[in-house]
Amino acid sequence: MGWFWGDDKNDPVKKLEPGLREYLEQETPNKYVPASDAKQPTSTPTQAPQPQEQADPSKPAVPSASLYQDGRYADLWKTYKPPTNIDGQSGARGAERVIEHHKERGDTVQRAAMENCALEHEALTFCFQTGNWRKQIESRLTMCSAENATFSRCFTTQSKFLQALGYASSFDYDRTKEERIQMHADKLYHQMLDYEKRVEEAKAAGTEVPPVTSLFQPEKGPQPPSQGQGPEGSKSKVVIPGDEPIPEGFKPSKPLWQLTPHQRELEIRAHNAHLDQQKLYFEEASPFVKAQEDTRTKRQEKAVSWFGETIGKWVS
């Protein structure tokens, strides 16, 4: 062990063969320094390089999105902006989201209406497929008009109930909420059918028509139905359950006097829900619309400065 104390004569490694000594030097983690060399003054060890952030505090930190957090290519990454920070990008995604949601909502409402009208659709299908040959021929000749009319009305009316109740209107999907709305729409539809049946029975029996109660605001209580319904301009009063006001620009599928009281209420409710949905779409896409307007204004100002006001506004 004398070589630890700098005794050159007792250095055991020095006596090894050159090949073996070279192998040991390559395999040893820290390079072996002979005892004779250990006597020589050693230079001051160089200080470990500091990270780029500590070496030059004036340079901005590397963004978290950089693939090289050790500081490589910092001159390129220092100007990096995430897509959400680029002007117009977040707004563009908002506009795409609005368009996609608008397309999907129509399909979603129709699927829910079909589910609510499953029994009516099944009756229409069985009309064409069941019965003896004479019944099937009769069904094809009449196109199952009664079953077809029942299903068509169910599908159309259920779709309006779903729209009026705000089904699939939110951008954040809540399965429990949507199922509750779908069940409520089916309940209101059958309440409407039940009232119409009672009206027909009263007319057939020559008794007074039962009062009508709002489907959407039942707490307001029953109202007397309209008496002697006639075309617009006649003296007969057109009753709208719940005293629902007629909105400006409202265009019902039929004149109000041709609709039942509940149909009038439903038409107005669906119209108002459609306006609310359009407002929601506009608010969601407004950042994109504003970004487009700002870009157009800047482009127009630059064109006017180049070509004058008349040509500049025209080319931009």
pLDDT at 45: 46
Quote the radius of gyration of the chain (alpha carbons, Å): 41
Cα torsion 149, 151, 157, 159 to 10°: value is -140
Residue 303 phi, psi dihedral angles, 5° rounding: -65, -40
137 inside domain: yes
166 inside domain: yes
225 inside domain: no
Per-residue pLDDT of the chain (316 residues; tens, 9 = 90+): 444 444 555 566 666 667 667 766 666 555 555 555 544 554 444 444 444 444 455 555 666 666 666 767 666 666 656 554 444 444 455 566 666 766 788 889 999 999 999 999 998 888 877 765 666 676 667 778 888 999 999 999 999 999 999 998 887 778 899 999 999 999 999 999 999 999 999 999 999 999 999 999 999 989 887 644 445 444 457 889 988 899 988 989 889 889 999 999 999 999 999 999 888 777 766 666 566 666 777 777 666 677 666 665 665 5
Range of the domain at 110: 102-212
272-288 pLDDT, tens digit per residue, is 999 998 887 777 666 66
144 inside domain: yes
User: 277: which strand partners?
Assistant: none
Q: Are 154 and 189 in contact (CB under 8 A)?
A: yes
pLDDT at 103: 73
Q: Are 175 and 183 in contact (CB under 8 A)?
A: no
Alpha-carbon span 136 to 146, nearest angstrom = 14
Alpha-carbon span 52 to 78, nearest angstrom = 13
Alpha-carbon span 87 to 181, nearest angstrom = 38
pLDDT at 106: 81
Alpha-carbon span 91 to 106, nearest angstrom = 23
154 inside domain: yes
pLDDT at 2: 45
Sequence-separated (6 or more) residues with CB below 8 Å from residue 208? 202
| Count of Cβ atoms closer than 10 Å to residue 97 Cβ | 15
Q: Where are the alpha helices (DSSP H) in the chain?
A: 18-27, 35-38, 52-55, 74-77, 89-116, 118-129, 133-142, 145-164, 175-205, 261-307, 309-315
Cα torsion 124, 128, 129, 130 to 10°: value is 80
pLDDT at 211: 93
82 inside domain: no
Q: Is 244 exposed, middle or buried (0-12, 13-18, 19+ CB in 10 A)?
A: middle
pTM of the model: 0.59
36 inside domain: no
pLDDT at 207: 93
DSSP state of 256: G
221-230 pLDDT, tens digit per residue, is 898 876 444 4
User: 223: which strand partners?
Assistant: 212
What is the total count of domains within the chain? 1
228 inside domain: no
Tell the residue number behind the tokens 């030097």, with chain if given: 25
